Amino acid sequence: MKRWQVWVDRLANPESFDGQREDEEILVFARRHPFFLYRSIVGPLSLLVLALAFVTRANLWPLLLSPLGFFGLPAAVLAILLLAAGLVFWAVLEWENDHYIVTTERVVAFRRIYKVYEERREAEVGRVQDVTTRTPGLTGTLLGYADVSIATAGVLGAITFARVGQPEYVASVILQQRDSSSTQRIETSRESVRDTLEREMGIR
């Protein structure tokens, strides 16, 4: 497999995240639906393509690549090219920085603006009370994305996985982990009670 393919695979499905616990496994790693990335970059990409087409059509490449290219019309074209490329890069970075994780122990929502803002909300799967999905309009229905709202016990309130693809699958994994956690707690409680009774009766 080529290096860039490995990088893309890790970007889509990373093996770990900041703060991951030992023996904690990632079950779901989601970002906003790719539609929102495409929507963010279509304008800058169109501007970039038009600027490149204009430079090529007007044969401005020699001027852009020379010291005189920093003056007049070539300078304006160069500024447009740099601006469009920068906007595309920022849109990809902003989309990649927001992600939602379901593990064997927690649900985690990351919201991040590079070097400006970061928010992390998480809850143990055992504190999940309910999971609902809400499809925002016809576009969400056609493209298959929705908001997954996770109601939790305590003051934390709801955690929202915004505009994620395959929302029903994400919700089912969260509920499955919650039920599994409840079963484990019941078994642990039963074993604790059994051990206490056996000690009191002198069996152990």
- pLDDT digit string, tens, across residues 132-187: 999 998 999 999 999 999 999 876 789 999 999 999 999 999 999 998 886 665 45
Instruction: Using the CB atoms, write b or e for 175-191: b if 16+ within 10 Å.
Output: eebbeebeeeeeeeeee
* Geometric angle at alpha carbon 164, from 162 and 167, rounded to 5°: 110
- pLDDT digit string, tens, across residues 54-101: 777 777 666 666 655 555 556 677 777 788 888 888 888 888 888 899
Residue with tokens 């019941």: 186
Contact between 128 and 107 under an 8 Å Cβ cutoff? The reply is yes
Rounded to whole angstroms, how far apart are CA atoms 115 and 19? Answer: 19
pLDDT recorded at residue 82: 85
pLDDT recorded at residue 163: 93
pLDDT recorded at residue 116: 73
- pLDDT digit string, tens, across residues 99-116: 899 999 999 999 887 767
Contact between 165 and 145 under an 8 Å Cβ cutoff? The reply is yes
Contact between 133 and 167 under an 8 Å Cβ cutoff? The reply is yes
Strand order from edge to edge, sheet including 128-134: 128-134, 145-152, 158-165
Rounded to whole angstroms, how far apart are CA atoms 199 and 124? Answer: 32
To the nearest 10 degrees (0 to 180), the angle between helices 72-97 and 34-57 is: 170
pLDDT recorded at residue 8: 39
Q: What are phi and psi of 31, to 5 degrees?
A: -125, 175
pLDDT recorded at residue 81: 79
Average pLDDT, the chain: 79
This prediction has a pTM of 0.73
- pLDDT digit string, tens, across residues 113-145: 776 778 899 999 989 999 999 999 899 999 999
Q: Residue 125: which of 3, 46, 24 has the closest Cα?
A: 24
Cα-trace Rg, the chain: 25
pLDDT recorded at residue 94: 85
Rounded to whole angstroms, how far apart are CA atoms 24 and 166? Answer: 23
